[in-house]
């Protein structure tokens, strides 16, 4: 039997709908409008597309959207001064500095200059530490989106055996922590794991976030397992015409879908959830800043 396809596009639309409802309540009951500021340094084409999409969706859910576009040669001092200004702006509840930054800027220094309470990417060292110790934190958007989809599909993942393939600070490590916090049994694997196929085969849940196109074949997947594919890789697609490419994930979709119980597609799986969770994090940050009840089901 073919796997159930977990439609991230449809689920993300539902999440944005819940965010919009809560934004309306904040405005009507408390006179508060959540505000998100996005800072883009340089002219990376992919980042520009992503920032435009964020701004559009921020406005669609009724929040205040602010964009700061800086030249690629902007000094670190000027960037840090802008972040400090946003830290002190009471109308801004979330601050996101679009990565990657130009090479002359220290990403860690920039990220850690953002107020932890406004760090809606969840990358600040304080939020990383809070997440790791089970305290209330801002949670990275992509892992949060994966967790939301798993909860929606399974109800509870308590006691399930989960393997996270990938150990990045942005996805792999926080994903493992979120799964642990929901009482799953978690293994972090990676490209150098001995007998990786055997490790993956025992998992009820597989999170593929290793950044290698179609690395995980169907014969690595336990029959009936849930596969969450975080990978976004471009491959040449000569069948579509000269110079054309296609998006693929970190799992071989066709062979994995033939074995898995449920699977996310690429595109249309985890990707749409990232911006939806960014909006959810901004509303959560706003509620915490004003001592208002947080939205149900939009946090870890």
- Sorted by sequence, the CB contacts under 8 Å of residue 232 that are 6+ apart come out as 247, 249, 266, 267, 271
- Shared domain for 43 and 95, answered yes or no, is yes
pLDDT of 184 above 90: yes
How does pLDDT run across 234-285, given as a tens digit for each residue?
887 777 777 778 889 999 999 999 999 999 999 999 999 999 999 999 999 9
Report the mean per-residue pLDDT for the chain: 95
- Shared domain for 111 and 186, answered yes or no, is no
Residue 1's pLDDT is what? 66
- Shared domain for 145 and 251, answered yes or no, is yes
Task: Give domain status of residue 160, yes or no.
Answer: yes
Percent helix, percent strand, percent coil in the chain, to nearest 5: 45, 15, 40
pLDDT of 144 above 90: yes
User: Residue 136 to residues 33, 116, 132, 155: CA-CA distances in angstroms?
Assistant: 22, 11, 10, 22
Task: Give domain status of residue 109, yes or no.
Answer: yes
- Shared domain for 147 and 262, answered yes or no, is yes
Which of left, alpha, beta for 278 (phi over 0: left; psi -120 to 50: alpha)? Answer: alpha
- Shared domain for 156 and 260, answered yes or no, is yes
- Helices (DSSP H) in 155-269: which residue ranges? 172-181, 196-201, 253-257
Q: The domain spanning residue 49 has which CATH number?
A: 3.40.50.10860
Task: Give domain status of residue 208, yes or no.
Answer: yes
pLDDT of 47 above 90: no
Task: Give domain status of residue 215, yes or no.
Answer: yes
Name the percent of the chain lying above pLDDT 70: 100
Span 104-116, average pLDDT: 97
Residue 152 binned pLDDT confidence (cut-offs 50, 70, 90): very high
Q: The domain spanning residue 196 has which CATH number?
A: 3.40.50.720
Residue 191 binned pLDDT confidence (cut-offs 50, 70, 90): confident
Residue 114 binned pLDDT confidence (cut-offs 50, 70, 90): very high
Distance CA 85, CA 39 (A): 12
- Shared domain for 93 and 158, answered yes or no, is no
What is the domain extent for residue 74? Answer: 31-115
Residue 148's pLDDT is what? 97
- Shared domain for 151 and 103, answered yes or no, is no
Span 201-222, average pLDDT: 97
| pTM for the model | 0.95
How does pLDDT run across 10-34, given as a tens digit for each residue?
999 999 999 999 999 999 999 999 9
Residue numbers annotated as active site: 54, 98, 121
- Shared domain for 148 and 263, answered yes or no, is yes
Span 111-136, average pLDDT: 97
Q: Structurally, how many domains does the chain consist of? A: 2
Between 297 and 30, whose confidence is greater?
Answer: 30
Indicate the DSSP class of residue 291.
T
pLDDT of 230 above 80: yes
Span 98-112, average pLDDT: 96
Nearest to 204 by CA among 183, 225, 219: 225
Task: Give domain status of residue 26, yes or no.
Answer: no
Torsional sign, CA 71, 75, 78, 80: positive
């Amino acid at each position: 039997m073919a796997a159930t396809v977990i439609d991230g596009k449809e689920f993300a639309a539902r999440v944005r709908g819940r965010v919009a409802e809560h934004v309306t309540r904040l405005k009507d009951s408390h006179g508060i409008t959540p505000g998100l500021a996005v800072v883009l340094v340089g002219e990376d084409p992919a980042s520009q597309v992503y920032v435009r999409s964020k701004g559009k969706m921020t406005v669609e859910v009724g929040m205040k959207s602010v964009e700061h576009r800086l030249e690629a040669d902007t000094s670190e001092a000027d960037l840090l001064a802008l972040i400090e200004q946003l830290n002190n702006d009471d109308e801004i509840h979330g601050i996101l500095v679009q990565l990657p930054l130009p090479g002359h800027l220290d990403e860690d220094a920039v990220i850690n200059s953002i107020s932890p309470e406004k760090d809606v990417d969840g990358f600040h060292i304080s939020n990383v530490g809070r997440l790791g110790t089970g305290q209330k934190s801002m949670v990275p958007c992509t892992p949060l989106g994966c967790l939301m989809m798993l909860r929606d599909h399974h109800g509870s993942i308590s006691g399930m055996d989960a393997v996270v393939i990938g150990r990045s600070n942005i996805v792999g490590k926080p994903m493992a922590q979120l799964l642990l916090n929901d009482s799953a049994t978690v293994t972090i694997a990676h490209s150098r794991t001995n007998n990786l196929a055997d490790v993956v085969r025992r998992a009820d849940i597989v999170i593929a976030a290793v950044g290698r196109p179609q690395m995980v074949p169907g014969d690595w997947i336990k029959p009936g397992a849930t596969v969450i594919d975080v990978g976004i890789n471009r491959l040449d697609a000569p069948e579509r015409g000269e110079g054309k490419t296609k998006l693929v994930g970190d799992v071989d979709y066709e062979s994995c879908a033939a074995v898995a119980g449920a699977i996310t597609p690429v595109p249309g799986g985890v990707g749409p959830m990232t911006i939806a969770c960014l909006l959810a994090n901004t509303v959560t940050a706003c509620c915490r800043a004003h001592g208002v009840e947080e939205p149900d089901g939009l946090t870890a």
